[in-house]
Amino acid sequence: MVLAARLSATVTLRLLEQGDSAWVAAAYVRNRAHLAPWEPTRPEEFFTTAWQEEEISRLLAGCQSGAGLPMVLVTEDAVIGRVTLSGITRGAFQSANLGYWIDGRHAGQGLMTAAVGALLARARDDLELHRVQAETLLHNVASQRVLQRAGFEHIGMAPRYLRIAGTWQDHELFQRVLVSARG
């Protein structure tokens, strides 16, 4: 599987690594206010290298077992975003869930659109998934633009779908069916 892609002159998309814990923790500290409205409420430990180290172990074990594909956007000295396939389900579903965020200082440069495009290619060609689902808060227009440009279709609105920023909130659901030669 090709697990790295150049997104710009200075930003690369690659698989999350065990050694990324300090960079990941630092990225969450830098972006705490930027991400707070869009994510679950985080405990204080979440922002520590030790907590992220354990979480990365869990995610990499999940990657090994085929449950997910956790990737990071990196510069030469920082993690500046994440894009993750989780909950990979086989059988008649062949589906996964997509989540992502980018460092506020790097937003609006087309990086997440490029990262999602690269991840979808892996989902189709390497993981042989049929479908990827993503969901956004109703007012998350930037995220909806990323999904639109990646060819996602709107499924509908799911009431009280996820607990974001401490409240069970309605979400718009989107899916991308991955057309492959195998059909």
Ligand X SMILES: CC(C)(COP(=O)(O)OP(=O)(O)OC[C@H]1O[C@@H](n2cnc3c(N)ncnc32)[C@H](O)[C@@H]1OP(=O)(O)O)[C@@H](O)C(=O)NCCC(=O)NCCS
* Contact residues for ligand X, defined by CB under 6 A: 35, 38, 100-102, 107-113, 136, 140-143, 145-146
The CA–CA distances, whole Å, from 10 to 6, 34, 60, 111, 117 equal: 8, 22, 25, 11, 18
Distance CA 85, CA 174 (A): 14
Residue whose CB is less far from ligand X, 66 or 110: 110
Residue whose CB is less far from ligand X, 90 or 139: 139
Half-sphere CA count of 106, side-chain side, radius 13 A? 25
CB of 99 to ligand X, least distance (A): 7
Residue whose CB is less far from ligand X, 33 or 181: 33
CB of 157 to ligand X, least distance (A): 14
The CA-based dihedral angle spanning residues 48, 52, 53, 59, taken in that order and rounded to the nearest 10 degrees: 170
Residue whose CB is less far from ligand X, 40 or 110: 110
Kind and range of the H or E run holding 124: helix 111-125
In eight-state DSSP terms, residue 50 is H
CB of 84 to ligand X, least distance (A): 11
Residue whose CB is less far from ligand X, 108 or 159: 108
Nearest to 16 by CA among 103, 65, 74: 74
